[in-house]
Amino acid sequence: MFVVAQFKGKEGILLQSTKAIVRRDLTGRSTMRWGTYLKRYGTLYLLLLVPLAFFIIFRYVPMSYILLAFKKNNILKAPWLLDWAKNGGWEWFIKAFNDKNFIDALKNTIILNLLDLVIGTPMPILMALLLNELAFPKFKRVAQTVLYLPHFLSWVIISSLSLRLLATNDGLVNQIFGANIAFLGTENNWRATYIVLGIWKECGWNTIIYLAALTGISPELYEAAEVDGASRLRKIWHITLPGIRSTIIILLIMNLGRILGSEFDRPFTLSNPLVEGASKTISIFVYERGIKGNQFALSTAVGLFQSVVCVIFLLASNALAKKFDEPGIM
């Protein structure tokens, strides 16, 4: 009993002294923490103000003009000063969906993005698997550099080169193969060329992402599989692919979120009058109607519809991934 009481007494003294130390430490740090913290990290917060101001000024402030999609078209007044459009503010949405050109642009956007998704998604994975199996590190580094360099080229440059190399009569590709193929002259050929050029430009960049994910796989797994007599294909199927599954799912979710999004420079620079039925996407429709046609309310309504659908696809694919116990993006 004496020992227990003595232990309890020491424990009480220890707890009291610990609380006093913690209280004294907390009170001491509460006055010094802000000064020391700002002195140490204040410069970083000042640097953070620059990108923060950029996003506020150029990203969030312009979002106030979303109201233009529900207001009368008048560029001389601020959107919040304009009267509401007809049909309860839905006038421009109704006009867009009654416009045959918009429906064609919507169809082309979905077709091109689906082709990009179905054909373009597996290519970087295959390329990363092939590079990962290479036994020569120097050749691997050179191949990585050559593969991701096209990512930094502008579509203006790529389209100019394509128009010369893929010309029907005097193009280099047709001269090499002795053919007379109109790569950019028919709608089906134009779609195929559009997808191939997009894969060529972005495949290397996405390959680097998968190669970075492959570095997180433990080499001991490959050694154990080799001891068990697993072939190279078996190691890829049971070790490599499961190791980068989370990265594949995250990139797939991001691509699904852009299923209705459409970049402007790629279809615009590759387009020509012969393939307008396949090349006119939503971004080109917005450019022609909004900027050239001064119908800013209509183009804002189309852009808002496009953004809402992309967000829905993004959230739905993220929820589906989490339902199968896979990591999402949020």
Over residues 13-68, the pLDDT tens digits come to: 433 444 443 344 444 444 447 778 788 888 888 899 999 999 999 988 888 888 88
Residue 329 belongs to some domain of the structure: no
Of the three residues 70, 91, 111, the one that is the final residue of a domain is 70
Q: Which residues of 80-98 are buried (b: 16+ CB within 10 A; e: fewer)?
A: eebeebeeebebbbebbee
| Same domain membership, residue 105 and residue 232 | yes
Count of domains observed in the chain:
2
Give the pLDDT of residue 113. 93
- 218 and 100, same structural domain? yes
Scored b (16 or more CB within 10 A) or e, 196-209 reads ebbbebbbbebbbb
Residues 248, 251, 254, 260, CA torsion sign: negative
Question: 96 and 41, same structural domain?
Answer: no
Q: Is 269 exposed, middle or buried (0-12, 13-18, 19+ CB in 10 A)?
A: middle
Say what the pLDDT of residue 161 is. 92
Q: What integer best gives the mean pLDDT of the chain?
A: 84
Residues 31 and 101 in one domain: no
Residues 144 and 181 in one domain: yes
Of 12, 38, 70, which residue constitutes the final position of a domain? Answer: 70
CATH number of domain containing 190: 1.10.3720.10
Q: Is 236 among the domain residues?
A: yes
Predicted local confidence at residue 124, as pLDDT: 93
Structural domain that includes position 310 = 80-323
Angstrom distance (rounded) from CA 311 to CA 306? 9
> Within a domain: residue 75?
no
Considering only the C-alpha atoms of the chain, give the largest distance between any 2 of them, rounded to a whole number of Å.
106
**Which pTM value belongs to this model?**
0.80
Tell me whether residue 34 is in a domain: yes
pLDDT digit string, tens, across residues 128-184: 999 988 878 888 888 888 888 999 999 999 999 999 999 888 889 999 888 888 999
Residue 275's identity, in one-letter code, is V
The answer on 66 and 132 residing in a single domain is: no
90 and 40 share one domain: no
167 and 124 housed in the same domain: yes
Distance between CA atoms of 80 and 70, rounded to whole angstroms?
10
- Looking at residue 59, what is its pLDDT? 87
| CA neighbor of 213 nearest in space, from 252, 169, 254, 248 | 248
CA within 13 Å, CB half, 50:
4
